Amino acid sequence: MPSYKAPLDDVSFLLNDVFQFDRYNNLPGFSDASPDLREAILSEAAKLSEEVLQPLNRVGDKQGCTLHADGRVTTPDGFKEAYKQVTEGGWLGLSAPVEYGGQGLPVTLTQAVAEFQSSANMAFSMYHGLTMGATAALLVSGSEEQKAKYVPKMIAGEWTGTMNLTEPQCGTDLGLLRTKAAKQADGSYKITGTKIFISAGDHDLADNIIHLVLARIEGAPAGVKGISLFLVPKFLVNDDGSLGGHNGVSCGAIEHKMGIHGNATCVLNYDNATGWLIGEENKGMQAMFVMMNEARLGVGVQGLAASEVAYQNAVTYARERLQGRSLTGVKATDKPADPLIVHPDIRRTLLSIRAFNEAARALVIWTALQSDVAHRSDDAQQRQAADDHMGLMTPIVKGVLTDLGFANAVQAQQIFGGHGYIADNGMEQFVRDARIAMIYEGANGIQALDLVGRKLPRNGGRAVMAFFAEVNGFIKEHGEDAAMKPYTAPLAVSLGHLQKATTWLMMNAMAQPDNAGAAATDYMHLFGLVALGYMWAKMAKVAQDKIAAGEATPYLTSKLVTGRFFAERMLPETALRLTRVESGCGTVMELPAEAF
């Protein structure tokens, strides 16, 4: 059976040392999150994840969710009790506004906790994860009345939330959506249509479900300009907050899918369901996009989370499984064979996963901090810079962390040999579960297009220029330091590749937009590598300083080795990505569709 330990040391190192959390004490909520409180919160989150959520991960996969003849949807054994512990612990409200019952602490802490929970049980964690996303959308776009009526219950976890975008004929291209909203005399709307792939769409964990639904008001313009966002509760809510009758929404089916079986992915049928407009008519896309940056960051965290838990289990197996002898002579003389971990190819695999995990975690924490600054700072310039960073990094965190998180789960599974293919060992579940993160909240190809087509040119490239300046500044500041050379020198080369690719795009994508499309995925990965490489350089510097100050712990010395592995073997991939970007769209577009 697989196991999990939350990486508390690593999170503390990032919060306290690398990103110096206390520097942000001027922002609301930060000074409340004292070092002691942070440690207490993270330890409690670790305990909940390790002891309550993780033991239900295999159960959830095996049992899945069930749609009963009477229309009820039930979750796997134990989910209800675990959900109760999550809500009673106040975990949904960690970063939510105090006036609605939240604790108002930084989002950065919530993202750290989200990694633990997703490593422990991805399918389970989606129930409250989606609720938090829906709550965020309501907080930004809902009316005061809507917020007062729904948000406190959602923060308490008494009610959960969903996002309803996809329909059979439309996924990425929401302009094609057909779900209808007919305005009623009382100002409400009757919603009719079919939504598919609705995560946490129905279940028995909470008393009510607040569906946020994209639909088209009768007479609205075609395409994305005619889409509005509606709030459609499963059970209607009376003015006193008590539950009324069942609304016209029902689960038509639970999808049979590759993984995340513990989460009920539903077909939801809306049949004259009563809904209320959120925000303005025909402005549903904007309301949805507010939520999407946070949600995409959260999905990136799922990629990291899968990679981390798969790594941990692969390490345990590699230490215990005796197979073959070291190429340099017998190591475990008292045993019939050496443990797998003596073999260089096993270590290479483990280090490549780990070198990703630690840098990806840094990138998540950094980006989450910028999210906090963007939302909480009273300095307009700081807010703008942070918002630029968030916008730029969101598609990278989502696309790169989920692509590599999945690939790493596959590599970790490989260490188990045939045992990795067997369900009970749990490794193949990590692979199946992680796979969805590359798809939902915008397939990774869409993330790449968002980066190249929208985030890069926005405001004359202000965000990307700021990123280049920051990385360049770091390299200049520490480039002469001999101990830092193994990290900064390869980073400088790779940053050069990224700058070259960026210039190439500026020169070639305007005249021929297909050059951007053909380059997008490789450009996104090139950017991701540089961002991860920068994280490694920052971490190495802090680790070296701490070691120089007398703290030569195994944690810190391992950090330096893992960072060198990244610089030597992983970062050089930027050259390949640049070659692909510069090869342009010619060959890609040459064949007629029928020749494929």
The 3-state DSSP class for residue 121 equals: coil
Question: Catalytic: 441?
Answer: yes
The residue among 519, 514, 492, 511 whose CA lies nearest residue 579 is: 519
- 63 touches a second copy (CB under 8 A): no
What is the DSSP track for 352-399? HHHHHHHHHHHHHHHHHHHHHHHHH-S-HHHHHHHHHHHHHHHHHHHH
What is the DSSP track for 511-560? T-HHHHHHHHHHHHHHHHHHHHHHHHHHHHHHHHHHHHTT---HHHHHHH
Separation of alpha carbons 65 and 67, rounded Å: 7
The residue among 331, 330, 327 whose CA lies nearest residue 344 is: 327
Tell me which stretch binds a second copy (CB under 8 A): 33-41, 71-79, 83-91, 573-581: 573-581
List the x/- string, 188-207, binding to a second copy by CB under 8 A: --------xx----------
- 448 touches a second copy (CB under 8 A): yes
Q: In the complex with a second copy, which residue's Cβ is closer, 374 or 530?
A: 530
Those residues whose C-beta lies under 8 Å from the C-beta of residue 292, and which sit 6 or more positions away, are 441, 442
- 221 touches a second copy (CB under 8 A): no
The 3-state DSSP class for residue 164 equals: strand
Could you tell me the smallest distance in angstroms from the CB atom of residue 142 to a second copy? 27
Separation of alpha carbons 265 and 356, rounded Å: 30
Could you tell me the smallest distance in angstroms from the CB atom of residue 302 to a second copy? 14
- 525 touches a second copy (CB under 8 A): no
Could you tell me the smallest distance in angstroms from the CB atom of residue 107 to a second copy? 27
- 596 touches a second copy (CB under 8 A): yes
Q: In the complex with a second copy, which residue's Cβ is closer, 334 or 590?
A: 590
Q: CA-CA-CA-CA torsion for 98, 99, 100, 103, nearest 10 degrees?
A: 10
Those residues whose C-beta lies under 8 Å from the C-beta of residue 471, and which sit 6 or more positions away, are 491, 495, 530, 534
Measured at the alpha carbon of residue 67, what is the angle toward residues 66 and 71, in degrees to the nearest 5? 150
Could you tell me the smallest distance in angstroms from the CB atom of residue 246 to a second copy? 27
Annotated catalytic residue within 81, 167, 441, 594: 441
Q: In the complex with a second copy, which residue's Cβ is closer, 55 or 453?
A: 453
- 587 touches a second copy (CB under 8 A): yes
Beta strands in 37-82 (DSSP E): 66-67, 73-74
516's tokens? 């951007």
Separation of alpha carbons 40 and 34, rounded Å: 10
The 3-state DSSP class for residue 31 equals: coil
- 501 touches a second copy (CB under 8 A): no
- 323 touches a second copy (CB under 8 A): yes
The sign of the dihedral angle between the CA atoms of 554, 557, 563, 566 is negative
- Out of 1, 98, 322, 552, the only residue in the binding site for a second copy (CB under 8 A) is 322
Q: In the complex with a second copy, which residue's Cβ is closer, 130 or 206?
A: 130
- Out of 214, 268, 346, 542, the only residue in the binding site for a second copy (CB under 8 A) is 346
Q: In the complex with a second copy, which residue's Cβ is closer, 297 or 341?
A: 341
- Out of 443, 466, 483, 547, the only residue in the binding site for a second copy (CB under 8 A) is 443
- 518 touches a second copy (CB under 8 A): yes
Q: In the complex with a second copy, which residue's Cβ is closer, 31 or 169?
A: 169
- 445 touches a second copy (CB under 8 A): yes
Q: In the complex with a second copy, which residue's Cβ is closer, 148 or 423?
A: 423
* Footprint of a second copy on 418-437 (CB under 8 A): 418-424, 428, 431-432, 435-436
- 410 touches a second copy (CB under 8 A): yes
Tell me which stretch binds a second copy (CB under 8 A): 28-36, 201-209, 302-310, 318-326: 318-326
- Out of 8, 59, 140, 170, the only residue in the binding site for a second copy (CB under 8 A) is 170
The residue among 139, 141, 214 whose CA lies nearest residue 181 is: 214
- 319 touches a second copy (CB under 8 A): yes
Tell me which stretch binds a second copy (CB under 8 A): 52-60, 257-265, 465-473, 494-502: 257-265
Tell me which stretch binds a second copy (CB under 8 A): 10-18, 293-301, 313-321, 373-381: 313-321
Strand partners for 254: 266
* Footprint of a second copy on 14-53 (CB under 8 A): none
* Footprint of a second copy on 347-366 (CB under 8 A): 347-351, 354
**How many other CB atoms sit within 10 Å of the CB of residue 592?**
7
Measured at the alpha carbon of residue 250, what is the angle toward residues 248 and 255, in degrees to the nearest 5? 155
Could you tell me the smallest distance in angstroms from the CB atom of residue 321 to a second copy? 9
DSSP for residue 75: P
Task: Check: CB of residue 155 under 8 Å from CB of residue 96.
Answer: yes
Active site residues: 441
